[in-house]
Chain A
């Protein structure tokens, strides 16, 4: 999986957990929280959906790695690769 594909995985999840938001123009290098209404429960949703949909675990200590789309791609792509995706 490429980093762009990883970003799309995260965007698909965000589209479901924040259905009122326009996510078409999210800047990849800016914190998600600074661009849209996302609270701590929403971040737990992202973690839960990565677990449910892709069998990827994100330990609590690594939550800051999900701050932006770029950091998500950096952090998650190796995990997808490790799973053979």
Chain B
């Protein structure tokens, strides 16, 4: 498998994370060790820890749009608008039927369904009080559809359901659609509204996979010996992707080039990862990029701080990058928790500036490194200035055994 033309490049980034609402703010906080986890009241469960985004929702939506739409839709609109603005494309005059919107989601509809069930519980479960907005809010394409409505985009707009591999999948699918010539501009990535559903928290709690810590900012700690699970977060990161020729023709700023990718499946368990299949996913992505492991300078791990999952991913990465002294490994969830469908897209964004500043942001909250996670090249607690960053490999894995690896390389004309 090898990658073919046309070349696909990233020309705009829009994001909201628990510790930043622009790429520059997000990046600065990653370099300064500033996380964004807080206490939050979760329906039926009480006070838990979560990553909450604090973007200005009214920047691009009316109050009525916010009332009618969903949180995932709102996050998508914010990120899409920010990405389009960042791309500096002449959006007003751009043919709207040539734009595609591809939004990765872990799940959609849990929040809205839980809210309606809760609402009718106040009316003795009489369904005549069930909202007429339930269906447009819960259809799987809702987050992408809200972007389409908000921006007047008439090209394809849909979501890609891929559990927590979805953020990468949004970009991968967009690159494929651009290569096929289906669209000329793609708005793509991933979003999550999962902190608004108690079901996700309760599910992880029942699985003994929900993090706890007296200090919220220390709760998400991949690779630390005392890690005890996931901090659930909301967030979003959407990019504008274009074919290289189009981007060059309009003089666009180019953040990086899609070098290669792979999506595969474990076919082994509902929830337990499979390091063999993860390593295979990484190797196939390298192959698709025409690269060797030595060509990768940053590996952003998926690690969510579960006791077993972190070790398994380290096994997979250790197997592939066994002899790579110039490959550095980091993790973003230690700052922002697990942004679910947004995770892959957000974590890539946090590393993209490394092409310019040659600094690898660390994984934080590692007080006592688990020897089973002690990969050579792991950047812990302090940023590392390195000699070269020409390629970033971004892992995102999800339940039902879906794995995604995306490689972005420095753009060289």
Contact = CB atoms under 8 A, between A and B. Distances in A.
A81 B133 CA distance: 31
B132 A44 contact: yes
Contacts of B128: 51
A20 B129 contact: no
Interface in B53-97: 62-64, 67-68
B123 interface: yes
Nearest to B130: A48
A41 B68 contact: yes
Contacts of A41: 68, 132-133
Nearest to B123: A52
A10 B129 CA distance: 18
Contacts of B133: 41
B67 A17 contact: yes
B188 to A, nearest CB: 29
Contacts of A18: 64
Given A17-B67, A41-B68, A48 B129 contact: yes
Nearest to B136: A41
Contacts of A19: 62-64, 67
B63 A20 contact: yes
B118 to A, nearest CB: 14
| Interface residue SS majority, chain B | helix
Interface string A1-42: 000000000000000011110000000000000000100010
B131 interface: yes
Interface string A41-85: 100110010011000000000000000000000000000000000
* Chain A interface helix/strand/loop/mixed: helix
Interface string B282-295: 00000000000000
A33 to B, nearest CB: 15
A52 B129 contact: yes
Nearest to A52: B129
A37 B129 CA distance: 24
Nearest to B119: A52
A45 B123 CA distance: 17
Contacts of B123: 52
A48 B134 CA distance: 13
Contacts of B129: 48, 51-52
B243 to A, nearest CB: 38
B132 A20 contact: no
Contacts of A37: 64
A36 to B, nearest CB: 11
Nearest to A42: B64
Contacts of B63: 19-20
A16 to B, nearest CB: 8
Interface in B115-146: 123, 128-129, 131-133
Contact of B64 (A17, A48, A51, A52): A17
B239 to A, nearest CB: 30
Contacts of A44: 132
A19 B63 CA distance: 6
A57 B77 CA distance: 36
A41 B67 CA distance: 12
Contacts of B62: 19-20
A20 B131 contact: no
A51 B129 CA distance: 8
Given A20-B62, A41-B68, 10 more contacts: A17-B67, A18-B64, A19-B67, A20-B64, A41-B132, A45-B132, A48-B132, A51-B128, A52-B123, A52-B129
11 contacts: A17-B64, A19-B62, A19-B64, A19-B67, A37-B64, A41-B68, A44-B132, A48-B129, A48-B131, A51-B128, A52-B123
The 3 A-B residue pairs with the shortest CB-CB distance in the complex, in nearest-first order: A19-B63, A20-B62, A44-B132
